[in-house]
Structure 1
Amino acid sequence: MSYILTEDISVTHEFIKKHINFVLDDKDTYNRFFEEFQRYFLRAILSPIPFENFLLILDGVEIDLKDLRHLKNSLRRIFANDQHFKGIVGEHLFAFYYHKMVVDLLWAHGPKGRSSAEPGIDFITFTGNKEVKETIKITVWETKTTKNSVTTRASQIYDFFSEDGSFEENIDTEITAMQQLFNNEAESGLKEVVWDLYNIVINRDERFCIGASGISPVDNTTEDTFKKFAECFLGEISKEQRLVKFLFVELLDNLLTDLRDNIWNRLQAM
């Protein structure tokens, strides 16, 4: 049985809302989640050889000094700033949920880089039927992580999708990067959608969606949490093209501490 529970939440605002709860209420469940997520996180932030080297370390195998030095240098910026570390873990928790639970996920781009403070778009998902381009929805997500109420980060999400926000500034670069990744892919409906992304986005095609994601230890949301998100791209997209997902991880503090201890502090002690 999965420790991730999802619930559709009815709201009167012009967006679709879902709650995602990580239920980690016993030691065995938490440990299983931690092992799964740590492996996912490391695979996402490391290239294949450093990833395999870290797995060797976890198994108690000594690795060459030059490989150890490379691992430390590769991971340093992720762990250097607590706020940025929390942000990048939150972004990967949201991506982890997508890869583990969303059955029609076709492909995802992101999360980005080594720090949540890096400019750019946090996460882009493609869902639907890979061979039928008309069914494929593209959602551009702005993700914020907090140890407090997700409401405290709402204005940053509105600003991102505002007329003068960072969305328009960054989407063209992301489209170019995604299209390059598909250069050598076999022809499919998904590839056609990726190659037509500029027109889909700029014309606010019904397959284009925007997403607001808040990650927090506690669910203290109300009917009106993120209500102004309904004003993003007002008059350009429908209610069904605005998605709000709140992800609640009660043991977020434990996760951050355990990741730091098991990855960064372990390396520093070697």
Structure 2
Amino acid sequence: MSYILIEDIPVNHEFMKKHINFVLNEKNTYDSFFEEFQRYFLRSVLSTKPFENFLLILDGKELEHKELKYLKNNLSRIFKNQQHFKGIVGEQLFAFYYHKMVDDLLWAHGPKGRSSAEPGIDFITFTGNKDTKETIKITVWETKTTENSVTTRASQIYDFFSENGSFEENIDSEITAIHQLFDNAEDSGLTEVVRDLYNIVINRDERLCIGASGITPLNNSTDNTFKKFAECFLGELSKEQRLVKFLFIDLLNTVLDDLRENIWNKLQAM
């Protein structure tokens, strides 16, 4: 996708860093992105039938009262709080990048389709060769979205991955959910890794990675941005097992406004 530019950034700290820039300054580029992302966003936060019903609305068709009411009540969890809405959109933008641009993405768990303020793991990615379990990396991502510098949210990411943080408090329920999703999966390197998730996590296996992602319109990262992330799981993980990705999107507020107008305000007017 020509509007997503990815750059590896060398740093003097024990983590790997990438910058992901969404360049959407041209109207046609923005319109094309927004149409695709809006559809991706709705597909991620709705089950199949409500998603199909909203596509009917976009095509100018009317729904039965009960189906319209269901959609409004369902989507209110996303749109009723602006801060939570911003967090959900940021997480979905990061997932959108992963699904569109990361060639060796095998499978992803999350983001949550509900308020980003609720506890839990934001996003888990499985990358590598699905038939060779030794190549498969599992990255547990903590994602923060802000209209300001990403440094304003850094301490929350450090806290999450701290010794007494939320990582181990929440990871077991995610392992359970992932196991259930793979109950009937065909045998492969990926399914072997999924079955062994607990041991990979508890032993800080070399296939386990932790990720810090920041979504912001402000591209002002320096070498020292998120530098304390190198202290997370200190002595347990290598530099290559700590990943930092900043997603810079100048038009973040435009995306937020357009999603609210095209989805929530459209529903409220019906």
TM-score in terms of structure 2 length: 0.99
Does 2:211 correspond to 1:211?
A: yes
The amino acid of 2:63's aligned partner reads I
Number of matched residues?
Answer: 270
Does 2:57 correspond to 1:57?
A: yes
2:74 is matched with which residue? 74
Q: Supply the distance in 2 between the matched residues of 1:2 and 1:91 (Cα, whole angstroms).
A: 21
Question: How far apart are 1:264 and its partner, in Å?
Answer: 0.2
Q: How does 1:216-227 map to 2 (within 5 A)?
A: 216-227=216-227
TM-score in terms of structure 1 length: 0.99
Q: Cα deviations across residues 109-136 of structure 1 (Å, max 9, x unaligned)?
A: 0001311101000000000000110000
2:242 is matched with which residue? 242
Question: How far apart are 1:84 and its partner, in Å?
Answer: 0.2
Identity of aligned residues (%): 80
Q: Supply the distance in 1 between the matched residues of 2:118 and 2:91 (Cα, whole angstroms).
A: 12
1:132 is matched with which residue? 132
The amino acid of 2:254's aligned partner reads N
Q: Supply the distance in 1 between the matched residues of 2:227 and 2:136 (Cα, whole angstroms).
A: 26
Does 2:159 correspond to 1:156?
A: no
Contact 2:144 2:215 in 1 (8 A): yes
Q: Supply the distance in 1 between the matched residues of 2:100 and 2:224 (Cα, whole angstroms).
A: 29
Q: Supply the distance in 2 between the matched residues of 1:253 and 1:113 (Cα, whole angstroms).
A: 20
1:254 is matched with which residue? 254
The amino acid of 2:103's aligned partner reads V
Question: How far apart are 1:63 and its partner, in Å?
Answer: 1.2
1:108 is matched with which residue? 108
Contact 2:46 2:113 in 1 (8 A): no
The amino acid of 1:99's aligned partner reads H
Question: How far apart are 1:2 and its partner, in Å?
Answer: 2.0
Question: How far apart are 1:77 and its partner, in Å?
Answer: 1.0
The amino acid of 2:265's aligned partner reads N
The amino acid of 1:153's aligned partner reads R
Question: How far apart are 1:65 and its partner, in Å?
Answer: 1.0
Deviation beyond 4 Å, 4+ runs, structure 1: none
SS of the counterpart of 2:259?
A: helix
Contact 2:213 2:244 in 1 (8 A): yes
C-alpha RMSD of the superposition: 0.5
Contact 2:44 2:113 in 1 (8 A): no
Q: Cα deviations across residues 190-244 of structure 1 (Å, max 9, x unaligned)?
A: 0110000000010000000000000000101110000000000000010000000
Contact 2:109 2:123 in 1 (8 A): yes
Gaps of 5+ in 2: none
SS of the counterpart of 1:141?
A: strand
Gaps of 5+ in 1: none
Question: How far apart are 1:253 and its partner, in Å?
Answer: 0.4
